[in-house]
Amino acid sequence: METVAAVGEALISTIFEGLLDKFTATSDLTNFAKNKKLDLELKKWHRILQSIKAVLADAEEKQVTNKTVRIWLTELRESAYEVEDVWDNLAYEAWKRKSKAQQQPRTKFEKLFIFPSGLKPNAVMFGVEMESKLKKITRRLQEIAKQKNELQLKEGELISMAYYKDQRPPTTTTSLVNQVNVFGREKDKEAILKLLLLVVDQKSIGNSSVCKIIVTTRNQNVSQITGNLLPAAYPLKELADDDCLSILACHVFGSKNFDAQPNLKEFGREIVKKCKGLPLAVKASAGLLRTKLLDKEHWEAALAKLEVLEIEGCKELTCLWPKRSELENMPCLKNLVIKSCPKLVSLVGEKEGLSCLSALKLKCLTIHDCMAMESLPDTFEMNDLEELEIFGCPSLIFFLEGKLPFTLKRLSIRNCRNIQCLLDGNKSHLEYLCIDDRLALESFLESGFQIPNLQIFHIFNINSLPNQMQKLTSLGELSLSNCEALESIPSSGLPPNITLLELCNCKNLKQPMLEWGLSKLNCLKELKITGACPAADMVSFPDDEGEMLPSTLTTLFMENMKNLESLSRGLRNLRDLEQLCMKDCPKLRTLPMTAMPVSLGRLYIFGCPLLQERCKKNRGEYWPIISHIPCLEID
C-alpha cells in the first residue's frame, strides 16, 4: 500500500505546526539567545516561516500536478528540519549553561579562575559559530520565501486542520500526563515509578530536574552527558498493534477506536504495521491522516468534480465499482486510466450489472497490464466514450461482444494474445485503429470493411493483410510493425489515399518492392522502412528507372539496410523530396554523381562510416553535390 509509505515523510504543514509552537513558547532559550545576540536572526526566522505557512495549503494541493512546487516543498522540508535541529541545539546549550551556573565552585583554585559564562573561550566560539550558521539558514529561508512568490502560491488556511480544530477537545494546560491518551504502558508506568523513587532516594544527587530527564528522555545520548551519577535509563519496548491502533484513533478522531469511521479501520491497521510498535511514528502518521482526512460530504464534493482518475499499482484491486452508488458519485469523470492492477477482473460488481456504466460520462478509458481481466462488458453502454486503449491483458478472451459506442473514434488493442472475439456491426465512426493480433484483426474484419472514416491504422504481429485494404479510402496513415510472418502485400493493393506508410521489422516480406504498387499511391508523402524487409537486401536504392516510388514523396527514411552500397540516380525522379534520412547502413558509400533533387532541404546520414568520409566539408568528393542543401547532418 503506497499511501502507507508516507509514514516516514510527514506533511510539511504538520512539521510547521510544531516548529512555530517552539517560537511562541517562552523558555530559557529566549534569554540565552538575547545574550548571544542571536535573537534577531530567530525573529527573522519566525517572520519568514509565518509567511511561508500562509501558502502551504495551496502548495500541498498543487504538488500533485506541479513538479516545481513539489521540489520547492522538498527544499522547504529540509530547511524546516535544519531549523528544528538548530533550535534544539540552542535549547540544549541554554539548559546546560543554566545548570552549570547553579553549581558552586568546589575549590579555591576554581574560584580564582572562573569566567563569566558569556566570556569563556568555548562560549565565545559557540556564539560565533552559531551566529554564522543562523545567518546561513536565514539566507536559505529568504530564498525559499522568494520562490513562493515566483510559483504564484496563494495564501489560505490549512482547511483540514481548521476543520478538525473545532472537532477536537481543548488542550489541557498542565504538566500532568493525560493518562486517558496513554495506551499499553501499564507495566512500564509501574517500573518507571519505582525507578524514580529509587533515584529521588539518592540524596547525593540533589537535582530533581536531572532525574526527570533520565526518566523521560527519548535519546539515550542525552542521559550519558551527566556521567555515571545516574542509573541506567529505562528502555521502553515497542507497543502492541492494538495499542498503536488506539493511539492512531485518538490522534485522528479524538476517540479510542474507529467506530466513527469503520471503513478506515483496515487502512489504520496497515499503517500500524508499518510503524512497528513505535508510538512517535504512529503519531506522525496520525498527523498525516488528520490533515488530509475529510468527512463524507467533503469527499463527495471532490468526487462530484473529479474529471481525471489514474489508478496504478493497486495489487489487491479486483473490482473498481462494487456498488452502483459509488459509480454515480463521479458524474464529471472524463478520463479513467488503470495500470498494473494484476487482480482486476471487472470494472463493476456482478450484481450491479454492466448497464450501470451508462451513468458515466467517460471520454477516454485506458487499461494497461491488468493480467486477470477476462472480459469487458457484453453491452458497452458508455455513450460518450471517444478513446479506448487496452494493453497487456493476456487473459482477455472476449472483447465487446456487440456494437461499439457510436462516439468512439480511437481504438487500440495490443498485447492481448488470447483474444478470440471482437465486435460486429457498423464501425463507421472509427478514425484510429491499432491492433497487434491476426485473430483479432480477422475477427474485426469478418463483418465487412465498413470503416469509411478510418484515418490511422497501426497493425502489429499479423501474418497477412486482408484483400479489402483498398476499400479504406479515407485512410491516411498505415503502419506495419513486427509482422514477422507477413510475406506479401495484397495483390489488390494498399489503401489508395495513404500519405504515410511505415514498415518495421517485417523480415519475411520477400516480395520485391516493385510489386508493392507504391508508384500507384499518388498521395504518398512519407515512406519509412526500418529493419529486415526486401529493401534491406538491396545493394542500390531506389531503382535507376524511378518506377519503384511515387514522385509525390516528400520524406524518405531508410534504416538498418545492411547491404545497401549506393543511392541510385533514380532519386532525381523524386521531384518533391524534401527530407532524406539514411541510418545504420554500414556499407553505404556512393551517392549519385548527378545532382541530388533540387527540392531536398534536409539530408541526414547517420551510422554510415564509409559515406561520412566522402562527404566531409570542403574536402570530400561529394561535398560539391550536397553543399547546397540547407540542413545537412552527417555523423
Q: What residue segments make up the domains of the chain, in order of their start?
A: 2-156, 296-414, 538-635
Of the spans 55-59, 108-112, 119-123, 530-534, which averages the highest pLDDT? 55-59
pLDDT, mean of residues 316-338: 81
Confidence band, pLDDT 50/70/90 cuts, at residue 35: low
CA distance 443 to 421: 6
So what's the pLDDT on residue 292? 58
So what's the pLDDT on residue 260? 74
Confidence band, pLDDT 50/70/90 cuts, at residue 291: low
Share of the chain above pLDDT 70, in %: 68
> Per residue in 408-422, pLDDT tens?
888 888 888 777 655
Query: With 60 as the cut, is the pLDDT of residue 515 above it?
Result: yes
Query: With 70 as the cut, is the pLDDT of residue 211 above it?
Result: no
Share of the chain above pLDDT 90, in %: 6
Name the more confident of 387 and 226: 387
So what's the pLDDT on residue 454? 78
Closest CA to 495 of 510, 509, 511, 478: 478
Query: With 70 as the cut, is the pLDDT of residue 596 above it?
Result: yes
- Antiparallel, parallel or unpaired: β 555-559 and 308-312: unpaired
Query: With 90 as the cut, is the pLDDT of residue 539 above it?
Result: no
Task: Give the residues across from 387 on adjacent strands.
Answer: 364, 410
Give the Cβ contact number of residue 350 at 10 Å. Answer: 10
Q: Which residue has the cell 494498399?
A: 494
Question: For residue 185, which amino acid is it?
Answer: R
Q: Measured on CA atoms in the order 444, 446, 452, 455, is the torsion positive or negative?
A: positive
- Residue pair 36/131 in contact (Cβ under 8 Å)? The answer is yes
Closest CA to 525 of 547, 549, 555, 504: 555
So what's the pLDDT on residue 112? 41
So what's the pLDDT on residue 224? 61
Closest CA to 535 of 603, 485, 583: 583
- Residue pair 480/508 in contact (Cβ under 8 Å)? The answer is no
Question: For residue 9, which amino acid is it?
Answer: E
Task: State whether residue 559 is helix, strand or coil.
Answer: strand
Closest CA to 549 of 573, 583, 566, 578: 573
So what's the pLDDT on residue 5? 33
So what's the pLDDT on residue 358? 67
The reported pTM is 0.50
